[in-house]
Structure 1
Amino acid sequence: MATATKLYKQSWHALRQLQQYRTIASGNASASIKSRNELFNQEQKRQRDAVGRVEKIEVRYLGLPEDVTLVMNNHISTPYNCAQHLSEGHCKRSALALVDGSVPWDMHRPLQESCTLQLLNFNVSEPHVVNKAFWRTCSFMLGAALQRAFKDEARLQLHSFPGPNIKSGSFVHDIVLGAQNWEPTKAEMRAISAEMVKLAAQDLRIERLEVDKELAKEMFKDSRYKSEQLPSIAQQNQSRVTLYRLGDHIDISRGPMVASTRFLGKCTILAAHKVANEGSTDAFYRLQGVALPTGFSLNHIAYGLLEKRAQKLNSARLPNEPFEEQQQMQLS
């Protein structure tokens, strides 16, 4: 009886320690996310306040129903604001902008000088630019979905996502997990897909913010892999780092991305390939999926072919290869 009581007390003590560890881990993760968002908000406000005296610019909109010149506010007005002057339909359909005929521009990114402006949707005659932005956004959203889907004890760490290559057949996000033998079930894959759909339904605006490398280091000080990647990223961009946010999820990316999560239509996360061990307990995994923009549909057979192709290991550079050599790394 005494032995049983002793074993019970030991088990109870171990359970209490485990619960405490999980609470601390959850608290630390939540604190990091909260701190990162607070710094994002502060810098966003500082940049807006720094605009000072408002200067006017001329934005020559080119497109339907007719070309028109808009007088907007420099470093304040965005392509979305321009769309608001045109119609509600332009606001709903426009996923990306094109400045001066060649520069892809986020819908919520302030314009910096007088320019021409085209508003892109997924039905334009040359959809390559907006399709790449959509694919990149899918990877970004997948990172947010993974953070929502995994429990703290999985020790999920987001690594990066390679550049959007539609011909590859899948969008990608690379992660590290505290398990070297994870083989996801179909139910787990469906759960991650469901998180993507939830994000789309929330119609979350995707925000862009450029910060200096020191602030970026502070924001990601609790993220081992982001901290390792930041020096190389900043060196390629004059000590600046471009961040994107949806909801409370913030990550590094050159962009551009589509205006909102609502542009994600049918989506399936299909594969999680183990690509390498990381230390004695963790491993790198490559998550892959396929998606269609809102309003597009395929019959079951055609979409099934896309799903089958997306299950094959994406050939983009792997996350365990040296970051400095990843010229196409998207963190982009």
Structure 2
Amino acid sequence: MNSLRRSLPRLTSNLQNICKFSQQRWISNRDDVRKYQNELFDLEKKRQHDAVGRIEKIEVRYLGLPEDTTLIMNKNLSTPYNCAQHLSDIHCNRSAIALIDGVVPWDMHRPFEDSCTLQLLNFTVAEPYLANRAFWRSCSFMLGAALSNVFKDTVDVQLHSFPSPNVKSGSFVYDISLNHQDCTPNKEELRTISAEMVKMAAKDLKFERLEVVHDLAFEIFKNCPFKREQLPSISRDGSVIIYRVGDHIDISRGPMMGSTALLGRCTIGAAFKIADINSTDSFYRVQGVALPKEIVMNHYAFSILENRIKEMNPARLPTEPADKYERRYGKLA
């Protein structure tokens, strides 16, 4: 956060260039919107990388198997995943998130900001709470990406948001709007969404985290009305945290799991119409259940989990006041 504030003057100049660039672009369809968002994401990611300047060395004290060790890494460049690469392929493939100084959950691909201790958490650790939350949150994020991909351009789908992860609820969700009053997906269409998530898992896409100033976030989501409306309540100290997986970009405070490859068995099994927005558009809640790749469960046991998603998740609805659930969408999502 401090490094972002220090770079504000340079970023202001960069934003002016972005605005000039945006005025030259005509956003005509969903693919154009996605391409434009990714161009802005890449520009800002490069700017932040170039702003690092002189490379400083830090000590990262790794705590865990096969043994505790100290690694010399690069401040604001090296990530927990880079540390895992020094340890073994198993750590690279299994680690969901990192734990910094024993208390701070950290993305696997987020650069270290100072010397620290490091633990790598997977889904079979003694206390999997943080890893499970990251997994559930990442599944919602991937569901949003899948929903953006499966609908044809003739269907106007707008992503609204996803509530804070709650494993006890029995499902991860994403709330969307569609320009159809009665467009509840059938079983075959839900299988298509499930298949899209499985495809994403097979591609082993990493979750990229980027902290940007509010004005840049507004520009990135200028063609996403619900995201644009949410930015003032989500922005903290003038900045917003966004993530990218593949070419899909969304808002979340994270942390996310390291890669889509950690997703194993997955079923998108229900969609509920929530409310009509106007004469043409309606809100829908799409729900799913999934397991991490390394967790094996027999068909009967998994079918019990699948049955739970047939009931609508009780998390805050997009039609309800934000403060009813302590502004849940503005907190950790």
Q: Deviations over 1:21-44 (max 9, x none)?
A: xxxx99422211111100000000
- Contact map agreement 2:322 2:328 (CA 8 A) in 1: no
Distance, in Å, in 1 between the alignment partners of 2:297 and 2:203 is 23
Cα deviations across residues 99-139 of structure 1 (Å, max 9, x unaligned)? 00011000000000010000011110000000000000000
Residues 264 and 293 of structure 1 are in contact (CA less than 8 Å); yes or no, is this contact kept in structure 2?
yes
Moved more, 301-310 or 132-141: 301-310
CA contact (8 A) 2:198 2:266 kept: yes
Unaligned runs of 5+ in 1: 1-24
Structure 2 partner of 1:114: 115
What are the superposed Cα offsets for residues 190-220 of structure 1, whole Å, 9 maximum, x if unpaired?
1110001000001001100000000000001
Q: TM-score, normalised by structure 1?
A: 0.90
Deviation at 1:328, TM superposition (A): 1.8
When Rg is computed on C-alpha atoms for both structures, the one with the higher figure is 1
CA deviation after TM superposition for structure 1 residue 300, in Å: 1.5
Deviation at 1:265, TM superposition (A): 0.2
Distance 1:216 1:244 in 2: 11
Structure 2 unpaired stretches of 5+ = 1-25
Partner Cα separation in structure 2 for residue 98 and residue 264 of structure 1: 20
Distance in 2 (alpha carbons) for counterparts of 1:229 and 1:324: 13
Is the Cα contact below 8 Å between 2:172 and 2:289 reproduced in 1?
A: yes
Asked if structure 2 preserves the Cα contact closer than 8 Å seen for 1:229 and 1:323, the reply is: no
Match of 1:249 in 2: 248
Contact 1:289–1:311 (Cα < 8 Å) also in 2: no
SS of the residue 2:327 aligns to = coil
Q: Which residue of 1 aligns with 2:13?
A: none
Q: Is the 1:84–1:90 Cα contact (8 Å) retained in structure 2?
A: yes
1:217 counterpart residue number: 218
Distance 1:213 1:48, change over 3 A: same
Q: CA deviation at 1:322?
A: 3.2
Residue equivalent to 1:328: 328
Hey, what's the Cα distance between the residues in 2 that align with 1:49 and 1:149?
Answer: 36
- Structure 1 residue 321, shift from structure 2 partner: 1.9
Cα distance in 1 for residues equivalent to 2:194 and 2:29: 26
**In 2: Cα distance, 1:96 partner to 1:324 partner:** 30
C-alpha distance after superposition, 1:115-171 (max 9, x if no partner): 000001111000000000000000000001111111111110000000000000000
2:11 matched residue in structure 1: none
Q: Is the 8 A contact 1:107 1:258 kept in 2?
A: yes
User: Which amino acid in 2 is paired with 1:299?
Assistant: N
Q: Is the 2:27–2:33 contact (alpha carbons within 8 Å) kept by the matching residues of 1?
A: no
**1:36-75 Cα distance to aligned partner (Å, 9 max, x none):** 1000000000001101111111100000010001111000
- Partner AA of 2:295 in structure 1: F
Instruction: Report the 3-state secondary structure (helix = DSSP H, G, I; strand = E; otherwise coil) of the residue aligned with 2:29.
Output: helix
Equivalent residue, structure 2, for 1:100: 101
1:162 corresponds in structure 2 to 163
Partner of 1:195: 196
Which residue is 1:175 aligned to? Answer: 176
Q: Deviations over 1:208-260 (max 9, x none)?
A: 000000000000111110110011111xx111100000110000000000000
Task: Establish whether residue 240 from structure 1 lines up as the match of residue 239 from structure 2.
Answer: yes
1:31-50 map, 5 Å: 31-50=32-51
- CA-based RMSD of the aligned residues comes to 1.4
Aligned to 1:315: 314
Percent identical across equivalent pairs? 62
2:269 paired with 1:270: yes
The 10-residue stretch of structure 1 (245-254 or 291-300) with the greater mean CA deviation from structure 2: 291-300
Which consecutive segments of 4 or more residues in structure 1 shift more than 3 A?
A: 322-326
Q: How many residues align?
A: 306
